[in-house]
Amino acid sequence: MRKLITPDTYLIVTCSTARLTVQGELRMRGRYLIAAVLAVILVTATAAGLYFNGPSSEMSSTQVQIVAAENFWGSLVSQLGGTHTQVLSIVSDPNADPHEYESNAANARAIANANFVIVNGAGYDDWALRLLSANNNPSQKVLNVANLLGKQTGDNPHFWYSPSYVNQTTHAMYSDLVSVDSTNAAYYGQQYASLNASLGQYNSRINEIVAKFAGRPVASTESIFVYLAEATGLNLISPSEFMKAVSEGNDPTTPDRILFEQQIINGTQPGNATVLVYNEQTATQLTLTIRAEAVAHLIPIVGVTETVQPSDARFQDWMNAELIDLQRALDSQAPGH
């Protein structure tokens, strides 16, 4: 309820340790102060690991409140939901390893208040599953991508690097949105068609790589690239247990490390890697060393990330940029390797 502001009234706004006192009669200053406080709140939410997809707007009871554990799924569902949804992506920090994310009270509140929650599953974001279990809201719609795809903990969880899995997940998001908000089903249908059309460039780029570079041997420091290597027809020769160990934060075996290094020492030797795909977001001393070895042997490096970067980019633009880098790296090597 609004209170009448008189010359004797003071508006006191407290944010963290700072306290601002403004005379209530200075209404214009009061408006500026409120705007400043909202900005601080937004910064605080970002620091807590939260990222709002789409244009900023007030939370509305008429909008479907959606929480995505990671911003790659958040970007897609935000494009599907458009103006009828408010999407919050929790994991989006380019300087953090999503595998090691630890939830906080802000995450718990966001998930508890959401109408629709999207998690990756397969052990990638168990923190989100724990929050959902603690909330135990039967009226809440939850999309677990791993469950959708028939995957489980121990399987490669980087599903968003597979165009086929992205298509399946996007369709499931669309269906769940209609289930949650059937009144706007026609709108979501239009958004779904538009999203599929905009994913066309990303899918076309993959087909171009297949046509020109199928079978080309490449290496990757982690399992993040496995699904995309399959989609592009490239021959990912890195030991699978090496990639899995690094992805999970473990040390690979000595034989696997020796084999991996032998594969990137000489890119002109038939069967050896002509490109190294490197996860920039989860760098370790081992992967930095491998990257340096590849550079020393003139092997092109293609950097990829776990989450959408920059965080306000659309999923398809982020993926297309990585595919362009991959194309250029493959093009820089003479055919026949």
Same structural domain, 300 and 230:
yes
Q: Measured on CA atoms in the order 105, 108, 112, 115, is the torsion positive or negative?
A: positive
What is the tally of structural domains in the chain? 3
Domain end (from 198, 220, 245): 198
- Same domain flag for 167 and 224: no
Whether residue 135 is found in the same domain as residue 194: yes
| Domain final residue, candidates 148, 165, 198 | 198
Taking alpha carbons only, the member of 171, 172, 158, 284 closest to residue 224 is: 158
Domain that holds residue 140: 51-93+103-198
Asked if residue 191 and residue 56 are part of one domain, the reply reads yes
Same domain, 22 and 43: yes
Distances (CA, A) of 28 to 31, 33, 35, 312: 5, 9, 11, 32
**Eight-state DSSP code of residue 92:** -
Digitized pLDDT (tens) for each residue of the chain, 337 residues in all? 333 333 343 333 333 333 333 344 434 344 444 444 334 334 344 444 455 564 434 445 689 999 999 999 999 999 999 999 999 999 998 888 898 899 999 999 999 999 999 999 999 999 999 999 998 899 999 999 999 999 999 999 999 999 999 999 999 999 999 999 999 999 999 999 999 999 999 999 999 999 999 999 999 999 999 999 999 999 999 999 999 999 988 999 999 999 999 999 876 678 899 999 999 998 899 999 999 999 999 999 999 999 999 999 999 999 999 999 999 999 998 654 4
Q: Quick one: 178 and 232 in the same domain?
A: no
Q: Is there a single domain that holds both residue 283 and residue 218?
A: yes
We report the CATH number of the domain holding residue 236 as 3.40.50.1980
Q: Look at residues 198, 227, 242 and tell me which one is the last residue of a structural domain.
A: 198
